[in-house]
Amino acid sequence: MRQQDWIPGEARAAAVERKLRAGEALFRLGDKTMGLWEVIAGRVRLARVARAGREIVLHVAGAGETLAEASLFSPHYHCDAIASTSATARLYPKREVLAVFERNPDAARMFAAALAHQVMDLRTRIEQRNIRSARERVRHFLALNAVAGGGTVELRGTLKDVAAEIGLTHEAFYRALAALERSRQIRRSRGKITLLNRV
């Protein structure tokens, strides 16, 4: 989801950027919540430290993703946010965001709508992960993303990126694509994949 869609302009105006080196913390569990973060570049992981020092990763956010939406409604952060690479993040101050929601119900509604949409999207991705077979998973992904394009999927990023997105090694992904193409279930052409009407 593009965050720009729902972060209200007033809050965006108040945003502050911060640069991080790999390993540096954006915030830590228990810190007072400053607001909502958007990752501009690099990767930031959300994690908790379990007993015995083990780290439990909750999520890894890449460029364009937001972090800690729930922190808007909580006084303290519930986990650590640590840069996995050198990274840039943008803070939308909680006070401003909430103030906008208060005086502008439409903004609040758009926020809720965006979250609801994200819930849908995440559930779909979980469903996808339940599919073990690489070929089936790829088909699921393609069918899902072809809805708009009349059977054609425009790939965002490289095939490697897509492979990571759907939770396959790039080798497995290439092989699945090759197999689907051999059996004439798809056709490929630089950056695009077309689903053929069969099976």
Partner DNA sequence: CGGCGTTTTGAGAGAGCTCAACATCGGTGG
Partner DNA sequence: CCACCGATGTTGAGCTCTCTCAAAACGCCG
The site for DNA (CB under 7 A) is made up of: 132-135, 158-160, 167-172, 174-178
Smallest distance from its own copies to CB 23, Å: 19
Which is nearer to DNA, 30 or 157 (by Cβ)? Answer: 157
Choose the one of its own copies, DNA, none that binds residue 177, judging by a C-beta under 5 to 8 angstroms depending on kind.
DNA
Choose the one of DNA, its own copies, none that binds residue 72, judging by a C-beta under 5 to 8 angstroms depending on kind.
its own copies
Note the residues at the interface with its own copies (CB under 8 A): 46, 48, 50-52, 54, 56-60, 69-70, 72-73, 78, 101-102, 105, 108-109, 111-113, 115-120, 122-127, 129-130, 140, 143-144, 146-147, 151, 167, 195, 197-199
Which is nearer to DNA, 26 or 193 (by Cβ)? Answer: 193
C-alpha triplet 28, 102, 117: angle, nearest 5°: 65
Range 98-127 burial, b when 16+ CB lie within 10 A, else e: eebbeeeeebbebbeebeeeeeeeeeeeee
Choose the one of its own copies, DNA, none that binds residue 51, judging by a C-beta under 5 to 8 angstroms depending on kind.
its own copies
* 24 Cβ contact partners less than 8 Å away, ≥ 6 residues apart: 82, 83
Q: In the numeric block, which tokens belong to residue 28?
A: 């830590």
d(CA 75, CA 187): 51
Which is nearer to DNA, 63 or 110 (by Cβ)? Answer: 63
Contact 162, 153 (CB under 8 A): no
Smallest distance from DNA to CB 48, Å: 22
Smallest distance from its own copies to CB 56, Å: 5
Smallest distance from DNA to CB 157, Å: 8
d(CA 92, CA 15): 5
Count Cα neighbours of 170 within 13 Å in the Cβ-side half-sphere: 5
Burial class for 198, CB neighbours closer than 10 Å (0-12, 13-18, 19+): exposed
Choose the one of its own copies, DNA, none that binds residue 169, judging by a C-beta under 5 to 8 angstroms depending on kind.
DNA
